[in-house]
Amino acid sequence: MSEQLPIVYVVSDSVGETAEFVVRAAASQFDGGKVEVRRISYVDDPEPIREVIQAAKEANGFIAFTLVQPHLREFIIQEAGNRNVYLVDIMGPMLEAFQNVLQMEPKRRPGLLHQLDDQYFRRVEAIEFAVKYDDGKDPRGLLRADLVLLGVSRTSKTPLSMYLAHKRLKCANVPLVPEVEPPEELFQISPKKIIGLTISPTELNLIRQERLKSLGLKAQANYANLDRILQELEYAEKLMRRIGCPVINVSNKAVEETASIVLDILKRGGTRQS
């Protein structure tokens, strides 16, 4: 019959998730992973370390730590040794390995991994936002968006929204059609958060013809009719002027190029026309 696992104290100068994950992964190899983990996060001075070492000694437990500040690492190693408390340095050996291989000093800033995680989750959230509020699906999303893109069909609103989502911007986009009233929410947000997309009639005509062919439809349909395109572009231009938002001409521009202009406009406070 296996003995009960001891209490493991996780000490970190950041959140401590990395150390706890390693502890639980190791514990899973023993008696189904039943272990009590007590996490002590954001340690930035020696006093909490003294208290944890005392608690671990009294509970006959041990300590796992991820401390990147040298003075804290040295303190916990020395104190645990003096009190005869078992200690596991989770981050130290890996830091030393990278330091030896790369021949450079680590930044020794707590929480960098957690910062990267935050960036990742913000990116995922922005992508989910772009999908949810694509093509005017739910006008309520306009009020929560970092940026709203306007334009007639086939002006790259969706791919641009997705590209900017990877830059952690929550983008919604609204298709402009003369027969459909724009959502009221569009006039409730700052014009600086709105960017209009326009395109040359001839280029849009070619793009729409190719789109119809890919769908197995006749290229002569009204969707690709030049007079219809001119009507749509005129309507979109009037609406964008009414709103007072910046406008980008996406003719012959790759999505990456348009995105760069968008980011520049946002940086300058929504004043540039292109």
Beta carbons of 15 and 41 less than 8 angstroms apart: yes
Tokens of 254: 């790759």
Beta carbons of 187 and 239 less than 8 angstroms apart: no
The annotation status of 155 as a binding-site residue, yes or no, is yes
Could you give the CA distance from residue 12 to residue 40 in angstroms, rounded to a whole number?
A: 6
Cβ neighbours around 122 below 10 Å, total: 15
Tokens of 32: 């189904």
The annotation status of 153 as a binding-site residue, yes or no, is yes
The annotation status of 274 as a binding-site residue, yes or no, is no
The annotation status of 198 as a binding-site residue, yes or no, is no
The annotation status of 11 as a binding-site residue, yes or no, is no
The annotation status of 241 as a binding-site residue, yes or no, is no
Bind-site residues for ADP: 151-158
Residues flagged as binding site: 151-158
